[in-house]
Amino acid sequence: MDKAVFPAGAYCRAVEQIIAAGRRMDRFGWVPATAGNISIRLPDGNLAITRSGGHKGLLGTDGVICVDAAGSPLTTGDRPSAETLLHCQIYAHDPRAGAVLHGHSVASTVLSRLGGDALVLENYEVQKVFAGQNTHAARVRVPIFDNDQDIARLSGVVAPHLDGMCAGYIIRGHGVYAWGADMDAALARLEGLEFLLACELEERKLR
């Protein structure tokens, strides 16, 4: 199937937003080398998502491909990331989700390697960036799941916890997943989470 079958305006806007998001994430150091992936849900239910193996800070239009809701490429020869299934899972679970971001920051990687099944964030003003949070005087739990190269199996572990994730989640020693109703909302959520993780890492250095 050729990409030309997609509504040109929606697809082109999605590609532009993904390229811009990749550059922003790269500027913060959240997508080193070829790490990370970025997607947007298209009006027809298919996804625009970064191609496997590309540097997210150097994306061109050919660095974004289309897959269906199950993660299968719609153009012969396109190769999506193995982690595309985790994007598909989020969209299937949350009909309001319009964009998903996955990054590999130093803070998320290091903190998740210290053990535990979650990071608890509390008494930070920036917590209010997360849906349903309207005060710093709250506890936000960010689940941590063990890394697994079997993405189908990993998605099965993540699935029962998706309802309670107002801030996204972390794969241990790997990175974070965050999403929102559109790209702006997803970026705000990711930036808020990464700021708070960086604060936690700096605070632990002072102990």
pTM score, whole prediction: 0.93
Q: What is the CB neighbour count within 10 angstroms for residue 185?
A: 18
Q: pLDDT tens digits for 132-165?
A: 777 787 889 999 999 999 999 999 999 999 998 9
CB 169 within 8 A of CB 161: yes
CA–CA gap between residue 178 and residue 94 (Å, rounded): 12
Percentage of the chain surpassing pLDDT 90? 82
What per-residue confidence (pLDDT) applies to 135? 77
Burial 11-49 (b: 16+ CB within 10 A, else e): beebbebbbebbebbbeeebbeebbbbbbbbbeeebbbb
Q: Using 50, 70 and 90 to split pLDDT, how confident is the model at 82?
A: confident
Sign of dihedral through CA atoms 28, 102, 53, 6? negative
What does the pLDDT look like over 3-27, one tens digit per residue?
444 456 888 999 999 999 999 999 9
Query: Cα(150)–Cα(83) distance, rounded to whole angstroms?
Result: 9
What pLDDT score does 2 carry?
A: 45
Binding residues: 102, 104
Average pLDDT over all residues of the chain: 93
Can you give the pLDDT at residue 154? 97
Domains of the chain, each with CATH number or no CATH: 3-206 (3.40.225.10)
Mode of pairing for the β-strands spanning 99-103 and 118-122: unpaired
Feature table: binding site for Zn(2+): 102, 104
Q: Six-digit token pair at 191? A: 């930036």
Longest dimension (CA), the chain: 57
Give the integer Cα–Cα distance in Å for 120 and 127. Answer: 11
Count the neighbouring beta carbons within 10 Å of the beta carbon of residue 139.
10
Q: Given a cut of 60, is residue 69 above it in pLDDT?
A: yes
Q: What is the mean pLDDT of residues 201-207?
A: 90
170 pLDDT above the threshold of 50: yes
What pLDDT score does 139 carry? 87
